[in-house]
Every structure is written in C-alpha cells, then in structure tokens.
Amino acid sequence: MEKLDTMMLADDLALSQDKILGKKQSFDAEAVYKAIDDLGVLNKPIKTYFGMTEEQYYETESDHKLTLIKLSDKLIDLHDRILTNHVDGYVDQDKINLTYNHENPYEDGFYNAEVDYHVVTYSLKVIGAVEAIAARDLQTVLSKDAVLSLGLAAYALAHNA
C-alpha cells in the first residue's frame, strides 16, 4: 500500500459513514482487510484469525490489550475492541507512542454498528498518519490486538450491519 492509502481509506469510510450505516451503501470489508494485511503487523492474514479461538490467539500472538475471558469462543464473537486513538512522540528520535482505549459495540446487549465503524475509521486515520511519516516504525509500535480489533470490527460490520 502507498503511504497515504490507509488515510485515504479512512477518509473515504468517514465520508460514507451515513450511507453505510443507513444501509444505502455496502461496507467494503475487503478493503479494510487488505489495509490490515499491508501493515504487516500480524503474523498471518487477518481472515485467518476469524476461525481462531481466543485461547489460540492469546497463546500465540496477543499483546494482552484485549480482554479475553471466554477462551473457547471464536475471536469473531469477541465484544472487546481496541481503538487506536492517539499518536505522539518524536519521529526524528524514533519515539512514537500510540494510545488505545477499549470499545464495546455490544454494550447494551445489541450490536451498535456505529461503535465498530468508529473503531475502523478512527483507528485507520491514526495508523495512516503514523504510516505516512514513520512507516518503518509502525510495525514495532502498533499493538497486534489493536490491528486484530480493526479486522473484528470490519468483520462485524460486514456480517451484522
């Protein structure tokens, strides 16, 4: 992916939010999956993780930011999301810091597509900003759980919304 492709995808998704959430336009999960895979943060293509259990992921790759409590459940059933919400630091000093917070699109017992949409668009925007100025550092500073969350949010949007 080109350096600005991730930010452009985030911008396109943000502009289409009302149409997609209003079901007047389809959500292109494949574009999000490609962006995730192009980041090179996860060990495998994102779609591989959808069939894994929480325990399999926890034991092999998780950086322990996600709340994994139903270890025998599939990752696609996980309600916790990690939103990449801020970047700061000094690129010239190789000090880049990303901050995260938890989101739950099922908080009230029903799926809220807007929460997952926010996870995807906002996270991609922050990640894209880092990618544009410090692509080589991104793989070392970006949380694997946050990247997985992007995929889980995109999957849920494609299958639940």
Q: Residue 3 — pLDDT band, cuts 50, 70, 90?
A: low
Q: Residue 139 — pLDDT band, cuts 50, 70, 90?
A: confident
Neighbouring-strand partners of residue 53: 74
For 5-53, how does the pLDDT look when each residue is reduced to its tens digit (9 = 90+)?
888 999 999 999 999 999 999 999 999 999 999 999 999 999 999 999 9
Please give the distance of CA 40 from its chain centroid, rounded to a whole number.
Answer: 13
d(CA 51, CA 54): 10
Q: Where are the domains of the chain?
A: 5-160
